[in-house]
Amino acid sequence: MKIGIVCYPTFGGSGVLATELGLGLAKKGHQVHFITYKRPARLSVFHENIYFHEVSQVNYPLFEYEPYDTSLTSKLVDVVKYENLDLLHVHYAIPHAAVAYMTKKILLKHGKYIPVVTTLHGTDITLVGIDHSFAPVVEFSINKSDGITAVSNYLKSKTEEYFNIEKDIKVIYNFIDFTRFKKIDKDHFRKAIAPNDEKILMHISNFRKVKRVQDVIKVFKKVSEKMPSKLLLIGDGPERAACEELCRSLGICADTRFLGKQDAIEELLAVTDLFLLPSGNESFGLVALEAMACEVPVISTNVGGIPEVNLDGVTGFLSDIGDVEGMAANAIRILDNPEMLARFRANALAQAKKFDIDYILPQYEEYYMEVLEHSRHQAF
């Protein structure tokens, strides 16, 4: 099968999932074409079945803002026609579902029907999508997709609550590639971070307000008062400066490392004892799953799709948004009890295995075939 994948080529969850999905499909023999404005962050290896098509930048004095939707549509029409793609899989509804609809309309005039699968990832529905300036287009373009998937039951429910969706939404969970994310021996690396065998806590995000990274720092402050520990903060974004200032005001800079964006996060997770995810909203929590695959228990909020991944009292603990005291108490409870930590590590791995790419990937392939069969004689 020849599949076109459209995504944001960033470190965010939708871009990561789209890239890992494309890599998995390529390994199974499918021809995968990524179409976006730059090479996806995790598309770092060559594979004979993977192609990358860069969407050209338009620099014209008339445009105050680059018309990316138009450029992407034109590129999609070109790639679908000349690479003879069978299906487009667009990740994140805005603007990709609308762009895919325009692409379909144009290609119909050339005698080709290209079926479209739209995967909803979270903020494209729960935050951006319900904005009045976007909502009509989001609802229309989702309904014009040949197939719709969501990464959690929570997101499916919210999409149906916010919009009048005329098609069934299929839940296909995010997945983990255990050839990459697994517990490995990194004792020398651990000693470099925690030379006196301190406990290592970690957080990964894009440092937006919804991630509540300052809560991570406040939790760590309370943990560090009870036991020697280190905090690794991975990622970057608009809240980083405020987080750095908070570390200074709390006097914990010596034990906190801002590592910025990292590609090989699995190497850092390999030496981590506890993962912190105090988000105000998460449609799934892919970083929590990656941590669990590396046998790292998770302390998180109980919002969105997180409880579908992190099981309270089994793989970690859940708390209400902003409950710094509760999250800190649960973190100390795990870290201060070697037997509990070992049990939670084993449970985290067992739970993560339910999301193995070898189990999830065939669900996408089966859904593609279902969409192709249903749309074989479709037209607008």
Express each pLDDT in 161-199 by its tens digit. Answer: 999 999 999 999 999 989 888 888 777 788 889 999 999
Question: What is the predicted pLDDT for the residue at 171?
Answer: 97
Band of residue 259 on the pLDDT scale cut at 50, 70, 90: very high
Are 16 and 138 in a shared domain?
Answer: yes
User: Domain range spanning residue 98?
Assistant: 2-175+357-375
Are 214 and 153 in a shared domain?
Answer: no
Among residues of the chain, what percentage have pLDDT more than 70? 96
Are 26 and 151 in a shared domain?
Answer: yes
d(CA 311, CA 301): 11
Supply the pTM of this predicted model: 0.88
Question: What is the predicted pLDDT for the residue at 380?
Answer: 46
CATH code of the domain containing 71: 3.40.50.2000
Are 163 and 200 in a shared domain?
Answer: no
Are 154 and 297 in a shared domain?
Answer: no
Among residues of the chain, what percentage have pLDDT more than 90? 75
Question: What is the predicted pLDDT for the residue at 328?
Answer: 98
Band of residue 63 on the pLDDT scale cut at 50, 70, 90: low
Q: Is residue 22 pLDDT above 80, yes or no?
A: yes
Band of residue 275 on the pLDDT scale cut at 50, 70, 90: very high
